[in-house]
Amino acid sequence: MNIAVLLRAVPDPVEELELNEDETDLDRDYLGYVLNEFDDHALEEALLLKEEVGGTVTVLGLGTADEVDQMLYTAVAKGADGAERLGSDLGPLDAHSQAGLFVEALRQGGYDLVLSGVQASDELDGQVGMLVAAGLDLPHVSVVVATTPADGALRVTKEYWGGITADYDIRLPAVLGIQAARQAPRYVAVARIRQAQESDSLTEIDVDPPAPSSGLRVTAVRIPEAGEGAAMIEGDEEAAADRIVEILAAAGVG
Amino acid sequence: MTRPVSPKVDPGDVLEHEEYVLEGMDISGHWNRMFEQRVIVDYDVAQLDRVTDVEGGESMGWCYQCAQCIAVCPVDHVGDYGPRKIYRKLQIGYDLFTDPDLWLCTTCINCLRVCPKEVDMLQIMPAVRKEAVLAGDVPGELQDVFEKTARYGNPLGKNPKRRIAWTKGLEVEVPIIADLDRKVDVLWWVSDYPSYHPRGMEASRCLARILTHLGVDFAVLGAEERHDGDSMLRAGEQGLFEMLADQNIETLNQYEFDVLLTTDPHAYNAFLHEYPERGGAYDVLHYSRFLADRIAGLGLSEEIAKTITFHDPCYLGRHNGEYEAPRDLIEALPGADFVEMWRIRENGYCCGGGGGGMWLDGLAADHQSMRLSEKRVLEAVETGADTLCVVCPYEVSRFEDAVKSTNNDGALEVLDVAELLARAMGLPTD
């Protein structure tokens, strides 16, 4: 099975996030970026599938941040067979633009399966996994928590609310939005990452910076103000529900 | 690199030959090696060989099961552990590379101190851990810390830019050496916990005040400083240690200073023993020694009406032979009573933070009846002391937590020696 995994860099909240001058975006001048946690799970699931059924894992990243190369090399060190970085110095991209670039590259790849994290913290205009599936006209299942290879197809477990999950048997090729891999993302030693950095495993692909295509225009960004206090609600469900209704009514809701 | 703590044999008296056959018997090699397995039962020593085949693991094969180590192993006091026990389990076929036993050793080397065969856990455990780390077999809690340290340069995962935040609002100046653009007498290597942990930051502020009072020409690196890497090396992440060491050496070599002053005994150990071979050789001092050599200049005038006991940190004491400096400082405190615990100096009982133990609390909980730090706090309380004095930044948080979890909150205060000295000097301690 030839699997592609989409890796995205998102703002690192270890920094104190500040707004730009006209308060329409984060101040990105000194922002650090990290791998989207859900994409790390997508990579882990892909590596587990490769260990089970053979094939290749290729990771794709967008040249939106300096940290992207390190993310791609780390993936190779963990067991990905190759890495592609699409573009460089692209700056922040909305989900539609990201999906557009991924779709172009994925069309060339002939992949049986595309995995991405189910969501990312900077997706304002939809989820990249879904947009990629639509762009490739492929089936898509989101919020996947496990995959099981089955006779040329794939059984995927999708998580719903209230502890409910459902299994889907899907024909490949397909796109999945991974909520969690079957196990926590594996560790890879720094020595192996450095080895990957010295190898020839990263391919840089030129792309034109896409024009924003989502139709979404951000007019203002605000940093949430911390409220005060918390009310602990005691009692059984009936009593708790009554109390919650009271609180909401007092706050003018409903 | 083997550093026997108290050599049993004077190396000058030993004749070792790479190849030597005497009366038909091959006695080549290290004087302390085993020639053959004792044959009581014919064991399949394949698992033992896997350990001794790793570079650094050789001395595991020298054990002749005398069990001197078990008596002094701090983990055995609260669990079932020690080099002899590991040797026995290897002999009967367990896989140390994937067993939790691999991660319980704190590298305190009390075992090496008493071992007649110089079985060196300071070499063995990091070497085997290194193989486990390369294979991706790392306990989850430690994985998290490795990743944070690699990304942010500190195991707490804090913003590197905030490494200097502890100086905010401080009434004395803590210059950053890059801003001074000149040589300084003392470059103070603050370390992570003293920069980011609330209790560490309080001790750092006290030490800054003390250095200022002494008129020391000092500066810090600020955000350029990264984790020294010693604990990562002991926990098996050699690649991470090398990356950090090389970055730190590159930084340090840009500046001119006479003395590299460390707060953290683990950093002290790294600078003394691991950095020189990577190109970073400095005159390094631990702050307890620096201050002990300047007691007269401190001006200790305020009464400290406390009964104080002292915990010898493994990496300052047993690893590097410094037992007197902190004691000199405590004994110089006016009005203070100094009482010793029973496991002190070379036989000091480990707090559990070394060798990665600082970040393996969950794993330890599954294999120990209590934390090492809790065992130690109970020992401190037994002395009748109301204060436990420490000089290693791992300890203050470990012991304060242990005071609470052993229900001694209010009975025992944990204080860095810098905090006690500042009080005795009439300086602010917040």
CB half-sphere exposure, A66, CA atoms < 13 A:
6
Note whether residue B5 is domain-resident: no
Residue of A nearest to B239 (CA): A191
Total number of residues shown for chain B? 430
User: Do B254 and B186 belong together in one domain?
Assistant: yes
CATH number at residue B207: 3.40.50
CATH number of residue B28's parent domain: 1.10.1060
pLDDT at B310 over 60: yes
Confidence at residue A215, expressed as pLDDT on a 0 to 100 scale:
81
Residue B139 within a domain: no
The answer on pLDDT for B11 being more than 70 is: no
* Structure ipTM: 0.85
Which of A16, A184, A190 faces B150 most closely, judged by CB atoms?
A190
Report residue A245 CA to chain centroid gap. Answer: 36
Indicate if B196 and B158 belong to the same structural domain. yes
Confirm whether B6 is domain-assigned. no
pLDDT, tens digit, 9 for 90 and up, residues A54-82: 999 999 999 999 999 999 999 999 999 99
Residue B249, number of CB atoms within 10 A of its CB: 17
Question: Is B235 within 8 Å of B356 (Cβ atoms)?
Answer: yes
* Consecutive H or E run containing A76: helix A68-78
Asked if B151 and B287 sit in the same domain, the reply is yes
Q: Does the residue B430 lie in any domain?
A: no
If asked whether residues B105 and B70 sit together in one domain, one would say: yes
Tell me, yes or no, whether B180 lies in a domain: yes
Let me know: does A60 contact A35? Beta carbons within 8 Å.
no
Q: Is residue B302 located within the same domain as residue B182?
A: no
Q: Same domain for B200 and B218?
A: yes
Residues B80 and B99 both lie in one domain:
yes
pLDDT tens profile A212-233? 777 888 899 998 888 888 888 9
Provide the pLDDT confidence category of residue B30 given band limits of 50, 70 and 90.
confident
Q: Which two tokens stand for residue B311?
A: 């915990």
Quick: pLDDT tens for B193-217: 999 999 999 999 999 999 999 999 9
Instruction: Give per-residue pLDDT as tens, B47-78.
Output: 999 999 999 999 999 999 999 999 999 999 99
Which of A190, A194, A197 has the most B C-beta neighbours within 10 Å, making it the best mutation to test the interface with B? A190
Q: Do B146 and A187 touch (CB under 8 A)?
A: yes
pLDDT value of position B35: 72
Taking phi over 0 as left and psi of -120 to 50 as alpha, with beta for the rest, A186 belongs to beta
Which tokens go with B81? 């552990």
Q: Please report whether residue B2 resides in a domain.
A: no
pLDDT tens for residues B137-156? 999 999 999 999 999 999 99
| Count of domains observed in chain B | 3
What is the mean predicted confidence (pLDDT) over B75-86? Answer: 98
pTM of the model: 0.90
Residues B175 and B107 in one domain: no
Confidence at B17, pLDDT banded by 50, 70, 90: confident
Tell me if B429 is assigned to some domain. Answer: no
Do B119 and B67 fall within a single domain? yes
Distances, alpha carbon B410 to alpha carbons A4, A72, B176, B372, in Å:
58, 51, 38, 20
Q: Do B285 and B301 belong to one domain?
A: no
Last residue of a domain, one of B292, B322, B352: B292
Residues B322 and B397 in one domain: yes
pLDDT in tens, A85-128: 999 999 889 999 999 999 999 999 999 999 999 999 999 999 99
Residue at which a domain ends, from B247, B274, B292: B292
pLDDT higher than threshold 80 for residue B9? no
Chain B nearest C-alpha distance from A14 (Å): 6
- Asked whether residue B315 is domain-assigned, the answer is yes
Domain span holding position B40 = 11-134
Q: Do B19 and B59 fall into the same domain?
A: yes
Q: Does B161 touch chain A (CB under 8 A)?
A: yes
* Among chain A residues, CA nearest to B138: A187
Q: Do A14 and B159 touch (CB under 8 A)?
A: yes
Q: What is the mean pLDDT of chain B?
A: 94
* Residues sharing a CB contact under 8 Å with residue B120, sequence separation 6 or more, in sequence order: B2, B4, B59, B109, B112
Structural domains in chain A plus CATH codes: 2-205 (3.40.50.620)
For residue B311, the Cα-to-chain-centroid distance in whole angstroms is 13
Alpha helix stretches (DSSP H) within B169-224: 177-180, 192-196, 198-213
- CB A191 to CB B150 under 8 A? no
Residues of B in contact with A189 (CB under 8 A): 133-134, 136, 237, 239-240
Q: Measure the CA–CA gap between A104 and A90, rounded to whole angstroms.
A: 16
Domain-ending residue, one of B115, B134, B153: B134
Question: Which residue from A15, A184, A189 is facing B239, i.e. has the nearest CB?
Answer: A189
The per-residue pLDDT for B5 is 54
